[in-house]
């Protein structure tokens, strides 16, 4: 019995799912992982662009540019968005590496 068949047999024995169900779940995990990677990369880019633009605006206004302006209406700190994007990208990569 091959490793793939053995893992499907043990998975179906413990969960009561068929080999096809296990394979479909694995494919779903891979697709979900790829989507997390793409979304995380986009969030990282968006956060970094927003942080850069905030710093440029601060420089133009003569307020330095050390960090972001702390406006009350701001809902998300661009650096936090970039960090969350990096976390999501890593989670997606981990999903893609699952067997």
Q: What is the mean pLDDT of each run of 10 residues along the chain (99 residues)?
A: 48 63 87 92 93 90 64 67 91 86
Cβ atoms of residues 89 and 38 within 8 Å? no
Residues 6 or more apart whose CB falls under 8 angstroms from that of 85 comprise 39, 40, 41, 42, 43, 44, 45, 46, 47
CB burial class (10 A; 0-12, 13-18, 19+) of residue 21? middle
Residue extents of the structural domains in the chain:
18-97
Task: Give pTM, 2 decimals.
Answer: 0.57
pLDDT at 73: 43
């Amino acid at each position: 019995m091959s490793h793939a068949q053995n893992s499907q047999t043990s998975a179906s024995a413990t969960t009561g799912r068929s080999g096809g169900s296990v394979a479909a779940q694995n494919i779903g995990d891979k697709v979900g992982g790829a989507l997390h990677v793409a979304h995380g990369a986009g969030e990282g880019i968006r956060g970094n662009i927003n942080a850069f633009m905030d710093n440029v605006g601060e420089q133009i206004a003569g307020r330095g540019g050390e960090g972001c302006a702390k406006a009350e209406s701001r809902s998300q700190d661009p650096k936090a968005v970039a960090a969350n994007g990096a976390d999501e990208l890593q989670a997606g990569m981990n999903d893609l590496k699952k067997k």
